[in-house]
Amino acid sequence: MVGWYNGREARAPLPSDTGANGQMADEVHVAGGDSGRADLVELSVVLVATSNNPSIINPDFLTANEIVDKQRELQEDPVTTSVFAQVVYKGGLIVRADPERVMFVQSASGTSLNNVICPRTAEAYARAVPHVPYRAVGINPKLHVCLTDADRAKVATALDGRGAWWSYKDSEPEVQLKAIYPFSSRRIIVDVLGATRRQPDGQPSPGLLFQGNVHRDLQQTNSQGRVEALVAIVGNWESDVLDCRALADKFTSHAVRDLT
């Protein structure tokens, strides 16, 4: 019988996790469109749960429990059903829920880190709804790197290798890369794909999009322990963003290096 492993022997111990190695959170660059630098364009915090109830998610509930500031205005009409709920606020904050998760999403384009509020919103929600059996937490940054034409060509070569499969019936594929980094306390997944971001002035900025997912399971069995662990994880979100940015920078600098 053949045993399959995802790039690592199952018996090998996972490496210890040192986090962002003491880097300061203000090193994360908010989207500005600088060539070759990873810009944070979106952040989401996902609370994975069993038997989650989306029907409680509505603007009145969120403001009454001080999860969202009552001064924050709605961008569009909220949706609240037993299987899906979504509340969209001006300023790029979205609260979304289904029976398996609650998501807190925020656009970070042109926003300073001090104004990234979705982690605090997620913490407030967990404290307000402590009875939900939360199972895991995801810190999910999206980072974009603007590239010159020459660097985009180098990245394309690094991704595809121009093998025999490169062209099929005169169609060339859009190549993506998924990297999974398992650690003892979390798993970092980064998807890399080509993407063009539109700047505030309307100009397109071609480059790479790095979609990060930093996943941690919650081991606690009682409600108080789960919420305390969840809040501690979410409170460290900047370190996770830094790690994803470091991976984005490493990939970009390696892919665009001059091999001549």
The pLDDT assigned to 2 comes to: 43
The pLDDT assigned to 164 comes to: 58
User: Is it the case that residue 77 has pLDDT exceeding 80?
Assistant: yes
- Bigger pLDDT: 173 vs 253: 253
Whole-prediction pTM? 0.83
In a domain, 12, yes or no: no
How far from each other are the two terminal CA atoms of the chain, in whole angstroms?
46
Phi/psi of residue 139, nearest 5 degrees: -105, 115
If you average pLDDT over residues 222-227, what whole number do you get? 94
If you average pLDDT over residues 13-41, what whole number do you get? 58
Give the DSSP H/E element, type plus range, for residue 241. helix 237-255
The pLDDT assigned to 171 comes to: 76
Give the other-Cβ count within 10 Å of 240's Cβ: 28
Quote the number of domains for the chain: 1
In a domain, 226, yes or no: yes
- Bigger pLDDT: 5 vs 12: 12
In a domain, 15, yes or no: no
Give the DSSP H/E element, type plus range, for residue 179. strand 176-182
The mean predicted confidence, pLDDT, of the chain is 82
pLDDT band at residue 159, thresholds of 50, 70 and 90? low
If you average pLDDT over residues 147-158, what whole number do you get? 68
Nearest to 233 by CA among 10, 40, 48, 31: 48
The pLDDT assigned to 205 comes to: 73
In a domain, 166, yes or no: no
Nearest to 129 by CA among 232, 59, 223, 197: 223
DSSP letter assigned to residue 89 = B
The pLDDT assigned to 223 comes to: 92
pLDDT band at residue 11, thresholds of 50, 70 and 90? very low
In a domain, 227, yes or no: yes
The pLDDT assigned to 16 comes to: 64
User: Is it the case that residue 233 has pLDDT exceeding 80?
Assistant: yes
Alpha carbon distances (Å) from 232 to 7, 218, 219, 235: 31, 11, 13, 5
In a domain, 210, yes or no: yes
- Least confident range from 22-26, 183-187, 222-226, 254-258: namely 22-26
The pLDDT assigned to 204 comes to: 72
User: Is it the case that residue 189 has pLDDT exceeding 80?
Assistant: yes
Range of the domain at 32: 27-161+172-255
